[in-house]
Structure 1
Amino acid sequence: MAEAHQAVAFQFTITPEGIDLQLSYQALNQIYHSGVRSWKRRVSRMRNRVIKGVYPASPSSWLFVVIAILATLYMRSDPSMGLIDKIQQHLPLSLHVSLSSQGQTMLSALVFSTLLWLSLILALRFCLKLLLSYHQWMFEMHGPVSNTTKVWVTLLRLLSSRKPLLYSYQTSLPHLPVPTIKDTLSRYLQSVRPLLSDPAYKRMTELANGFESNLGNRLQRYLKLKALWATNYVSDWWEEYIYLRSRGPIMVNSNYYGMDFLFVTPTSVQAARAGNTITALLLYRRKVNREELKPSRVPGTVIPLCAAQYERMFNTTRTPGLETDVLQHWQDSEYVAVYHKGRFFRLWVYNAGRLLSPREIEHQIQRILDDPSPPLPGEERLGALTAGDRVPWHQMRKQYFSSGINKRSLDIIERAAFFVTLDDEEQGMKGDDPAGNLDRYAKSLLHGKCYDRWFDKSFSIVIYKNGKNGLNAEHSWADAPTIAHLWEFTLATDAFQLGYTDDEHCKGDVDRMLTIMISLSCWFRCLLADDVDCHVFPFREFGKGRVKKLRVSPDAFIQISLQLAYYRDRGGFCLTYEASMTRLFREGRTETVRSCSNETCAFVKALEGGESAEQCRRLLRLASEGHQNLYRMAMTGAGIDRHLFCLYVVSKYLGVDSPFLKEVLSEPWRLSTSQTPIQQIELFDIKNHPDYISLGGGFGPVADDGYGVSYIIVGEDMINFHVSSKYSCKETDSHRFGAEIHKALQDIMALMSAEPKSAAPSRGPSQPKKQL
């Protein structure tokens, strides 16, 4: 490990002559500026609380109400209908003595004005909550818009006209509703019908009916009770039981990754790329802390999404426990943890209260890269502890990291803003084997060497030797769209705002007084990753532009193609997971869209069975509409799986067993899929800078004998796919499945492109896009 000379604020020793006190001006100066930053943050948070608390009104509106009330009183009119006089009568006796009659009237008017103002705010917030509880608009996006929806849009725009902070809408978002048992079971049976034989489906129907008539209603009552007092009846249990209580490795099984630009690397200088990337991430953190980010919205609309997941983005670590892990979040951190060639460094990113410039961070990163010192015994593979099973990691932590220098060193890593790995390998698409290079790039981001990432951190950044970058994210604290929002900002800020000099270094000057502050941690090792088969490929034959001209939803088109590809690859259908957000509701996370539907299976069988092109096209449109409806229902709280999951949790708390729930929740998801949406399209000018295209990100397979498929729709003419499976399963092959996806997309496009124009439906996405 490289040596670190850390300043100490003060030292004292007791000598025969007395106490020898030594003060360090530099350290005290750092403490002073750190305190100033801390108080500035507190003041900023207090101000933001006030602004959020009165939204959609503004704090200055109080003054307007006061002036209006005083003006009417001056005109000898009582707008309070006698309430001001009532307030004056109940003023404390001391005020009656000390204030004149006019002063008492003024004070009473101020009290009345404030109460009126607060009442108006509560009324506005209630109206906003009612408006955000309306979801019928989603089912009208590609058809005629009703008068109700038009009025709703107008009112929502009116109430949202004032610029909101990041969390301004939080308390106005509706709570996630609990679906009825009957609806959930009906949709569940419909979703598994194409996967079961007639006898098996009859058996499952009997199980569902028995569950509904007996245990189901009892569990439902408890769930409704929770929904009354909990902000979200799903999210806390989902976080704990799906993520934190998992005792297996989070590497590959839970963590996911994000990639750099596909065609462009802004600089080949590793330290410079690290300098700009770290700076961009810290600028984003500043925006989150100050709540300066615009609230995320449903694309093309004014409807806000829940922003709760942003709160734990930085300064957060998942710590292992015996039965369950814990997410620890600190208010702030002034450094990042850096790993390079087996050594851990603490890199301070503030000096005298200011954020270091990209050039200054580059300078410090370069010193780390140039440092020749070897790692301490056990230090090199310390990160492997975060890659393996959680119980051994907890036991090692308790035995070796509970006190002393080991504990302090581990604290430094875990309290860091985020983790950075300076990788000594080169990655990216360029080279003699572009396709193979992309696959190796994905595997490197997903697991690396298993010990050169810190998988417990909320996210870890990887900077490669050739300047390429990427990230690995822990899943329990947030879902992929949240980290994707961060990554889009980082890539755009790095390339288009911070930029580089002609010799590919960061812009700006270096304060030569800066020193690198370094910290160490110690030992261990882990394994897993060699079993992961990753395949990444950009599909360039067409994109959402051509798909939308066919009046088919791009997402439905891709999901149906995945079903066709899986049928050709495995000779049948499987339970399919497509992630959908529920962030229209407060603290909402995800819901499952069961993409393998009756309509989709009917289309696939017709196409593979040689049915006529006209019949296949008709079935495809039915499948597309059916998929879109499933997606909308999942987004609006009418999904299946989170409801069934929470019923199962209640049954476990009550100590009762349900054969139906046990069987339902043990069904394997052999095809797990997710779309990574581009949320900040305004940050990228794809028309003028087409090379600055992100590859998106991916994840590992959920089932040992299944596939994980992530895709990102880039612009109008490209779709990037990330396919994963396990080498140990002889029935799966990521490259083979990737080829099937490629062929399925082409075959369905050929089928739909041959449709006579007169036969195409008159309504759909071909109409002008509705801006809600």
Structure 2
Amino acid sequence: MNDSADLSARTFGNEERLPRVPLPTLDATCERFMEWCGPLLSDGERARTESALAGFLRPDGPGRKLHAALERYDASEGVHSWLDTFWPYRYLGRRDRIALNANFFFLFKDSQEGQIERAAGLIAGALDYKLRLDREEIPPVVQRGRPLSMVQNRFLFSATRIPGAEQDTVRAPYTDERPGPSDARHIVVFFRGNMIRMDVLGPAGRPHSLAELAAGLGTIMKAEAAAEPSAGHLTTKARAEWAASREALLALGNGKALDEIETALFCVCLEDFAPKNTLDACDHLLHGDSGNRWFDKAVSFIVFGDGTAGINVEHCGLDGTTILSFTDALLGAPPEKLSQRSGAKSQGLPVVEAIEFTLDDAARRDIEEAAASFAAYGAATATATVSFGGFGTDHIKRLKMSPDAFVQMAYQLAHKRAKGHVGATYESIATRQYRHGRTEAMRVVTPEVVRFAEVMDDPTAGTVLRRDAFRAAADAHVRRAKECQAGQAPEQHLWELQLIQRRRGEELGVTEPLPLFETPGWLTMRDDYLSTSSAPSVNIQYFGFGSTSEQCIGIAYVLLPDRLNVYLSTPRPVADAMLGFAGKLREAVQELRDLLA
């Protein structure tokens, strides 16, 4: 569907016409899997992996039965994609904390506004977006003449993740139970551990004026610190533990309080301090004071005492590309203009009501323990920012190279020099050109990358040899990224086959253990040393998330025409290695620039 004249201008108007996510053949996936894991393995590890793969692939083997079940599922009525069941399992099935481990943040560009003015402007912009979304007037994103899936926009407002004992669920509009957009008129404002309901839409559904939104926030900010500990701390617990705590809150009669939070359009978290510097702002956006957050909420705006602001996002229904479009809409025009477009009018001071929880001693103890545990967890995370001003996509394109390939190769070289070896690297690749498309998991290390990293540190290699190795590695990166964009990638396919066995193994007659998923190939390829993702927008300064394993460095980067800003995170025991990586990255970028110049 490439003819832009045929495209619908309605937000969700192209969804049914989008092509389906391709389901690769099992043989193609397994061949590609060996290509992907191979560069990370010794000869013995490769042989063990190939042996297990042969058993998985045999004509009557478990792989064939599981893949046939996936093909039948993909062809079923009402199924948008063979990944329809995978995504809930991947995100809602995780049992660790989502705070810091899964949620991500953007630090917005500066606005020179004070705290209340900034927060009121963000609320006004979000309400304008919400009302346009309700009318399907948000234009569908189109890339190279192809429309992208807009389904994730249904999880921006009044969406809340609900903890479960075995798997979480999502409470959201646009469902069978609640078809169509959210009819909520309120947000929840956090300040000094207080949770305040504020009605931002009047009885007729029109937004309050900017001045009234600011006045409502001003009223809230007169509050003393909360007398009781904040239930927000509980949203930082591992999911099954939080599910038990939520049941205990409900048993104490807190259904209404939870309902107010879970149905709110979004959260606004007002901090009573200014960040010390940019890194401090990023860290507070990532984890911050959990008494002033509800990490299960899809969207939380965080505004500091000096007007510095950003967003914390719950990841299960929302990827970075959707939040970028949302952010660009909020920050790409003055708040006055957005407020006016939304139909805002003066209706008196917004209704402001405290949300109060009934707690007993056990609940207070639970909250205090959760708060202490998360504070320690945040303190056990080391972070850093690395900024390259005056160097970005424009400069790299003049060097005749893909900007993403350039920075990914710089990460590889810096990692090898900092830690002594190339390690498994994840990169998120967007696939929203497909129906209900989200992302594909790309593994960056290719044979060309391994050779490039070796040649760059070979004292006998001259400039030409190094440059050729660099370009060969970058070209291989671009080829693999294109395969991932085309849905030709092995990891999520094999992972879903593993999950099908867990869910339906008995029914399908596949009950024996699957040795493939215990092989060095599968385990090594997915044991991240670097976990990378990019968010290009002039409206954000930094993007960030936590690391994914004990030795992993999380690398979130904003790559723009004139700059590259990188936020790094890792467990504190390996902080020195991360800081070493940051230093080597500065050197690598300069060295690779010079090599191509």
TM-score normalised per structure 1: 0.70
Name the counterpart of 2:240. 391
SS in 1 for 2:275: coil
Gaps of 5+ in 1: 1-131, 133-152, 429-436, 501-507, 679-683, 685-692, 754-772
What are the equivalent positions in structure 2 for 1:99-248 lying under 5 Å apart? Answer: 132=1, 156-160=3-7, 164-213=9-58, 214-229=61-76, 231-248=79-96
Query: CA 1:569/1:234 → structure 2, altered by over 3 Å: closer, same or farther?
Result: farther
**Residue among 681, 688, 701 paired with 2:547:** 701
1:218-274, CA deviations, whole angstroms, 9 ceiling, x for partnerless residues?
Answer: 22111111111163444333332221121111011101111111xx3331x211111
Query: CA 1:512/1:286 → structure 2, altered by over 3 Å: closer, same or farther?
Result: closer
Q: Would you say the 8 A contact 1:705–1:732 is kept in 2?
A: no
Q: What is the alpha-carbon distance in structure 1 between the residues aligned to residue 403 and residue 69 of structure 2?
A: 39
**Residue among 96, 101, 113 paired with 1:253:** 101
Q: What is the alpha-carbon distance in structure 2 between the residues aligned to residue 187 and residue 628 of structure 1?
A: 16
Q: Would you say the 8 A contact 1:309–1:477 is kept in 2?
A: yes
Q: Greater relative contact order: 1 or 2 (C-alpha under 8 angstroms, separation 6 or more)? A: 2
Q: What is the alpha-carbon distance in structure 1 between the residues aligned to residue 585 and residue 328 of structure 2?
A: 26
Name the counterpart of 1:472. 312
SS in 2 for 1:351: coil
Matched, 1:594 2:443: yes
Q: What is the alpha-carbon distance in structure 2 between the residues aligned to residue 266 and residue 480 of structure 1?
A: 25
Query: CA 1:695/1:238 → structure 2, altered by over 3 Å: closer, same or farther?
Result: farther
Deviation at 1:206, TM superposition (A): 2.0
**Residue among 559, 566, 570 paired with 1:713:** 559
Name the counterpart of 2:285. 445
Name the counterpart of 1:745. 589
Gaps of 5+ in 2: 174-181, 359-363, 506-510
Name the counterpart of 2:196. 345
SS in 2 for 1:322: coil
What are the equivalent positions in structure 2 for 1:343-492 lying under 5 Å apart? Answer: 343-353=194-204, 354-372=206-224, 374-378=225-229, 381-402=230-251, 404=253, 406-427=254-275, 437-492=277-332
Name the counterpart of 2:361. none
Q: Which amino acid aligns with 1:370?
A: K
Q: Would you say the 8 A contact 1:166–1:295 is kept in 2?
A: yes
Q: Would you say the 8 A contact 2:190–2:268 is kept in 1?
A: yes
Q: What is the alpha-carbon distance in structure 1 between the residues aligned to residue 318 and residue 568 of structure 2?
A: 22
Q: Would you say the 8 A contact 1:425–1:465 is kept in 2?
A: yes
Name the counterpart of 1:76. none
Query: CA 1:284/1:512 → structure 2, altered by over 3 Å: closer, same or farther?
Result: closer
Deviation at 1:538, TM superposition (A): 2.2
Q: Tell me the number of residue pairs that the alignment of Structure 1 and Structure 2 aligns.
A: 559
Deviation at 1:657, TM superposition (A): 1.9
Q: What is the alpha-carbon distance in structure 2 between the residues aligned to residue 509 and residue 549 of structure 1?
A: 50
Name the counterpart of 1:634. 484
What are the equivalent positions in structure 2 for 1:460-539 lying under 5 Å apart? Answer: 460-494=300-334, 497=337, 512=348, 514-521=350-357, 524-525=367-368, 526=370, 527=374, 528-539=377-388
Q: Which amino acid aligns with 1:670?
A: Y
SS in 1 for 2:310: strand
Deviation at 1:215, TM superposition (A): 2.1
Query: CA 1:514/1:587 → structure 2, altered by over 3 Å: closer, same or farther?
Result: closer
Matched, 1:308 2:151: yes
- Greater mean deviation of Cα atoms: 557-566 or 617-626: 617-626
Q: Would you say the 8 A contact 1:438–1:537 is kept in 2?
A: no
Matched, 1:543 2:392: yes
Q: What is the alpha-carbon distance in structure 1 between the residues aligned to residue 21 and residue 202 of structure 2?
A: 45
Deviation at 1:511, TM superposition (A): 5.1
Name the counterpart of 2:421. 572
Matched, 1:659 2:515: yes
Q: What is the alpha-carbon distance in structure 2 between the residues aligned to residue 254 and residue 310 of structure 1?
A: 19
**Aligned-pair Cα RMSD in Å:** 2.1
**Residue among 508, 522, 532 paired with 1:673:** 532
Q: Which amino acid aligns with 2:261?
A: I
SS in 2 for 1:338: strand
Q: What is the alpha-carbon distance in structure 1 between the residues aligned to residue 83 and residue 148 of structure 2?
A: 15
SS in 2 for 1:696: strand
SS in 2 for 1:175: coil
Q: Would you say the 8 A contact 2:158–2:264 is kept in 1?
A: yes
SS in 2 for 1:454: coil
Q: Which amino acid aligns with 1:371?
A: A
Name the counterpart of 2:462. 612
Q: Which amino acid aligns with 2:469?
A: L
Query: CA 1:600/1:497 → structure 2, altered by over 3 Å: closer, same or farther?
Result: farther
Q: What is the alpha-carbon distance in structure 1 between the residues aligned to residue 500 and residue 210 of structure 2?
A: 51
Name the counterpart of 1:334. 185
Deviation at 1:285, TM superposition (A): 1.0
Query: CA 1:332/1:739 → structure 2, altered by over 3 Å: closer, same or farther?
Result: farther
Q: What is the alpha-carbon distance in structure 2 between the residues aligned to residue 468 and residue 319 of structure 1?
A: 30
Q: What is the alpha-carbon distance in structure 2 between the residues aligned to residue 185 and residue 204 of structure 1?
A: 11
Question: Looking at CA atoms only, which structure, 1 or 2, has the larger radius of gyration?
Answer: 1
The share of aligned pairs that are identical, in percent, is: 26
Q: Which amino acid aligns with 2:91?
A: Y
Q: What is the alpha-carbon distance in structure 1 between the residues aligned to residue 111 and residue 349 of structure 2?
A: 31
Q: What is the alpha-carbon distance in structure 1 between the residues aligned to residue 488 and residue 165 of structure 2?
A: 35
Q: Which amino acid aligns with 1:590?
A: T
Deviation at 1:494, TM superposition (A): 4.3
